[in-house]
Structure 1
Amino acid sequence: TVVKVCPNDKDAKAKFEECQKIVRRQAFERAISVDHDKKSVSESVDVNAMAVEDAYDGPHLQETISKEFMMDLIQKFKEQKKLHKKYAFKMLLDFFAYVKSLPTMVEIEVPAGKKFTICGDVHGQFYDLINIFEINGFPSETNPYLFNGDFVDRGSFSVETIFTMIGFKLLYPNHFFMSRGNHESDVMNKMYGFEGEVKAKYSQQMSEFFTEIFCFLPLCHLINKKIFVCHGGLFKEDSVTLDDIRKTDRNRQPPDEGIMCDLLWFV
């Protein structure tokens, strides 16, 4: 669409051509693949088999996430240290199981007079994210947040950003909310840095798992039945209803048009 509107924009042309290469490569890989029924990464990850080395000095995750674990994790991230892969994968497995149970449109009830904070794109800026928390208060049952997509890409600390958000979502599932943005998608992560960052800090397997997980993030939220929040915008078709959104299958990469496309992209 951008190339059609701005046919002489060199940057748009370059990005479009890169997208086309990725699409063609993926189509070729699907065509030659003999594994059409590929299993979820979650089925191949065995956290119990992952040993935690004695030299590891980061936070240790028990059965469930605690506030103390989150504060320790944030401190280690500030020091630019990594969470051990055993605990990172455990968080992802727990988060994956949880987001799969969510509806496409999550409905939130905020009591009258209570504070509720909505934040836009963070884009891998971990230190900005923590600055928000230090100024506005850390997430809690009395200080709820909704982050409205584009958690990763562009910034150099997308891994730290997304694990901080996942941790708070697991700690406060009814008071910390996350909507999918257009950058929670495979093509964007390949082009804008998240895939490469995950591979560098962890592994290809984890990168593939994030691709799966992002497909189950809710597409939008409805607050008190009257405030509609999504990353992109409203719809090209005026006839779209809330029930149409509820029925939208989000477990996929963003399409080029339709309800899901409009919710994730502003055109």
Structure 2
Amino acid sequence: MESWDELTVTEQVLVRRAVAGTTPRGSAQHITAVLRWAGSPEVPRRRNASPAEQRERVPELAAATLRLVADGWLTVCRALSTPFVQDDGPVVTGPELERLVADPATWLMPSGSTSGMPALSLRATAEGSRRWEARAYAPDAQVAMDRMDLTEDEERVRVCALEASGWLTGPFGILADLPSELEGEELRAYVTADLAPLVRFVREGAIEVLHVAEPGAEATIIPPEDLVDAFGDRELRCDDRDDWGVGFTCILTQSRANAFR
């Protein structure tokens, strides 16, 4: 496995996380997002993986990690500081590595206290980074969003997707409320034009649109073919709600196309 294209989807996700120098926690959910955008029938189409579904991926993650370590792509280290700013600690190897990668707590985001849980980080080796860069920055590689020539409206969408507090609709959204006088085909034409900067990124697999019906509720993923109908529904948009965190939002995807960076 000396080139990026020889890796499985799971291995690609782990290498990308290792290049970023992040924790393995959340990897099971990350892989679900990648597979969904790759069109895999084995993952839910409109939602994230449940904790039980994430746990089912642990053996796959464990095996992939051991292969990548053996092939010189990455190492697993103890993290000496917080989960958000991690300094390299000792490299984990041998039986200890096998035990930790088999532990679901290594891969799933905790729902409560993290005390007593293994604090680990994924780190790409120099050779692993070189192999990744050879594909990530190849002449035929997709251009990263931050290097695209964007219109003003497209830049607003990109920033919205980058920000955890970014919303498309509702009282804090970047899109204006629907004009009350529009109905039928006129409404559909208005929504189509309004969404044009967003739809470009969604079709390219760079951005994913989510709908939240109530504050704190689980988000529903809106597929590209349903965007115009969904954004034309005044009830779904929640434009007249005062709550923060309801309506439509968007996030940068972790698709196979974007997994190079």
Output the TM-score relative to the length of structure 2: 0.25
Q: State the structure with more CA Rg.
A: 2
Output the TM-score relative to the length of structure 1: 0.25
Return the structure number with greater relative CO, CA threshold 8 A, min gap 6. Answer: 2
